[in-house]
Amino acid sequence: VDSPNSGDHLDDRPDLTDEFAVIDRLRVRFEAGARSLYPHQAFPPAGDTWIGDDAAVVSIGAGTGTDARGVWTTDLVVEGIHFDLGICSLDDVGFKALMVSVSDLAAMGAWPRYALVSIAAPSGTDLDLLGEGLATAAELAECAVVGGDLSQAPTLVVSVSALGILRGETPGGPVLRSGARPGDHLLVTGPLGRSAAGLRLLRGGQVQDGPATAGLAGAYRRPMARLREGETARLAGATAAIDVSDGLVADVRHLGRSSNVGVALDSLPVADGASEAEAMGGGEDYELLMATPDPDRLVEAFRSAGMASPLAIGACTSHPGQYSRAGLPLPSGGWRHGF
């Protein structure tokens, strides 16, 4: 249940005061409230994952005589923060809102089945165009939009909640952020920095009009959730994963902190046309960062599925709190929005 950092990838940090601390306090408060609902059980119930990962895993079958579990997330995009209507259109906004939400499911190895859309929009907003983008993304994600809510508001805000399942004959559990172990290899599903570079080009007016999905601008306007990659990684034994929404530097720390490992990066796959800084800190690429003790198995699984090979970028270490690149400490930074 994570969100992109900001449309301003690199330097404009949101100033919600002490956001990490606020989210930790909210987590404590929400868990305290829920604990009384499970007086005679492990808390959260065994197999569930609640606050603290890309998505929540909930026992939807409880009380219905089955053990079905859903993987469930919500993400919101806000005008002026996550998108700028001067450089993308309303169908891009709808597309992105749905994709960033299902990207959280991709990071768990889950597949989206259903989505609900909440739209707060200024009067006169072309909701058909917004809906076209939502529907297009839903089709690509093979997910049905089954309801929603609509309100007038001074600023456009689109929140998408997505509900998914773990597919496969022996689905096992989801891929959490917390499962990486020292020695695990780290890989990403593709080169980084495309979205940030696209934003830079769009802001500079350096983009020729073309297909909305094309090139770096397309990576910013219409990111693609790595659903097949996430599911493949889960079935190939990945121990942890996270989508690179806040930027590699931030998301490496999220994964390391959740798994209680350090991270040593030794390689940085920079996308063509992107800078190293954009690849390190840009975010909104929605590539997956994956940990595995057996990278050959992961690479082979991707190859068998006809997907581009994942790219090795480093390894997990037994030094929690230590994050390095080529032996030098990683810059700090990273803002967490999901909880």
Q: Which of residues 71-110 bind its own copies (CB under 8 A)?
A: 72-78, 80-82
* Positions 275 through 304 that interact with its own copies (CB under 8 A): none
CB of 122 to its own copies, least distance (A): 9
Residue 185, interface with its own copies (CB under 8 A)? no
- H helical segments located in 36-123: 90-108
Q: Which residues contact 250 (CB under 8 A, 6 or more apart)?
A: 5, 281, 283, 333, 334, 335, 336
Residue 83: phi, psi to the nearest 5?
-150, 155
| Region from 133-141, 175-183, 283-291, 319-327 binding its own copies, contact rule CB under 8 A | 133-141
Residue 254, interface with its own copies (CB under 8 A)? no
Instruction: Please name which of 179, 175, 178, 184 lies closest in space to residue 316, comparing C-alpha atoms.
Output: 184
Residue 170, interface with its own copies (CB under 8 A)? no
Please select the residue that binds its own copies; options are 96, 99, 108, 161, rule is CB under 8 A.
161
Instruction: Please name which of 176, 300, 164, 296 lies closest in space to residue 232, comparing C-alpha atoms.
Output: 300
Structure tokens at 176: 């959490």
Instruction: Please name which of 54, 66, 111 lies closest in space to residue 243, comparing C-alpha atoms.
Output: 54
Residue 152, interface with its own copies (CB under 8 A)? yes
Residue 33, interface with its own copies (CB under 8 A)? yes
Residue 136, interface with its own copies (CB under 8 A)? yes
CB of 50 to its own copies, least distance (A): 4
Structure tokens at 129: 């165009």
| Region from 147-155, 200-208, 220-228, 317-325 binding its own copies, contact rule CB under 8 A | 147-155
Please select the residue that binds its own copies; options are 90, 99, 108, 120, rule is CB under 8 A.
120
Q: How many CA atoms lie within 13 A of 170 on its CB side?
A: 3
One character per residue 36-75, x = contact with its own copies (rule: CB under 8 A): xx------x---x-xx-x-xx-x-xxxxx-xxxxx-xxxx
